[in-house]
């Protein structure tokens, strides 16, 4: 496994020599169910701890994309850059029951899953080799989920993913111009216009973004500014309220799309090695954490013809209306 940098876009690409296929045999038992293969994996986080039966458990991924040991060993190959696929790749088993999806758990249990995210993100951010830590979740077969068992993944990488890089650059540019946070401004306008809002709960809001890339793309965020999810969502009441909104939005989305990809965008690791501090001078004020959910809906022929540009056949205003009425 190695990482290579695309010299044009500057984004890192994961490359695997053998292209190993980890598709599980239909009849094989689920490795994430209690008592199965994953039970013997190292426990990185568990709730409740102390020997009682776990409700949420985090372990290293069974087939990790990244390896935690060693240094990135950055090397050149002529004009190209490559490095080892150093990083952390963990699996959050969201509940012991194979058939109960996140959206069907109790509010308290979903809040406990969020707590597991927080704990792992904070722990991995203490590792100065990692510039970025995030959580993602694939739901449904075609979203690329490796296991059917309800789970999320935590990854830590020695680089900042490309889309987050775009966000960081536009957020700091916007802040330099206006001394305001871009996403705070977006949230404020969405709330006052109230045409793309899916749901609002206390300080948290879910809406379909103005330039949605796919039908029913939905973002969840706090209308109150904070750059880092893992520092903002520390109080149980906030965790519970965000859990309620997340559950509700997932139920709405599941009614229109059986598969989706969820990703959490939070502040990069400012304590990482070789991180030029002046880049992050206004980071705490200009970046704003959010969750992006991209449903995977069988696309119409046109989106294939225009692969280089997003083609979305559903206006976000109409998508939000459908989701509100679910």
Residues forming the site for Zn ion (CB under 5 A) = 30, 32-33, 98, 149, 181, 183-184, 225, 265, 288
Closer residue to Zn ion (CB): 73 or 234 = 234
Closer residue to Zn ion (CB): 117 or 129 = 117
Closer residue to Zn ion (CB): 19 or 35 = 35
Closer residue to Zn ion (CB): 7 or 29 = 29
**Spatial distance between the Cα atoms of 91 and 114, rounded to a whole number of angstroms:** 13
- Describe the crossing of helices 236-256 and 316-325 by its angle, rounded to 10 degrees: 100
User: For 193-221, b where at least 16 C-beta lie within 10 A, e where not — what string?
Assistant: eeebbbbebeebbbbbbeebebbbbbbbb
Closer residue to Zn ion (CB): 60 or 209 = 209
Closer residue to Zn ion (CB): 72 or 209 = 209
């Amino acid at each position: 496994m190695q990482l290579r940098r695309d010299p044009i876009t500057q984004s890192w690409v994961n490359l695997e020599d053998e292209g190993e296929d980890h598709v599980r045999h239909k009849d094989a038992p689920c490795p994430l169910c209690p008592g199965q293969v994953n039970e013997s994996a190292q426990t990185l986080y568990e709730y409740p701890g102390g020997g009682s039966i776990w409700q949420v458990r985090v372990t290293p991924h069974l087939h990790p994309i990244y390896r935690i040991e060693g240094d990135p060993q950055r090397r050149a190959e002529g004009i190209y850059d490559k490095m080892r696929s150093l990083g952390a790749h963990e699996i959050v088993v969201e509940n012991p029951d194979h058939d109960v999806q996140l959206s069907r758990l109790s509010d308290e249990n979903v809040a406990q899953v969020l707590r597991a995210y927080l704990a792992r993100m904070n722990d991995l951010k203490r590792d100065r080799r990692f510039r970025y830590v995030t959580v993602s979740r694939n739901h449904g077969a075609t979203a690329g989920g490796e296991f059917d068992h309800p789970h999320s993944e935590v990854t830590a990488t020695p680089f900042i993913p490309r889309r987050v890089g775009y966000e960081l650059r536009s957020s700091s540019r916007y802040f330099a111009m206006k001394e305001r946070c871009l996403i705070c401004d977006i949230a404020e306008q969405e709330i006052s216009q109230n045409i793309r809002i899916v749901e609002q709960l206390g300080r948290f809001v879910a809406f379909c973004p103005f330039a949605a890339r796919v039908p029913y793309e939905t973002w969840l965020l706090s209308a109150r500014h904070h750059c880092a999810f893992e520092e903002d969502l520390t109080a149980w009441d906030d965790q519970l309220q965000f859990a309620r909104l997340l559950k509700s939005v997932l139920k709405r989305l599941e009614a229109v799309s059986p598969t989706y990809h969820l990703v959490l965008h939070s502040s990069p690791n400012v304590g990482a090695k070789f991180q030029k501090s002046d880049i992050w001078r206004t980071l705490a004020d200009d970046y704003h954490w959010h969750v992006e959910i991209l449903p995977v809906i069988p696309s119409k022929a046109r989106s294939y013809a225009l692969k280089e540009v997003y083609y979305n056949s559903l206006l976000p205003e109409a998508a939000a209306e459908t989701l509100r009425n679910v």
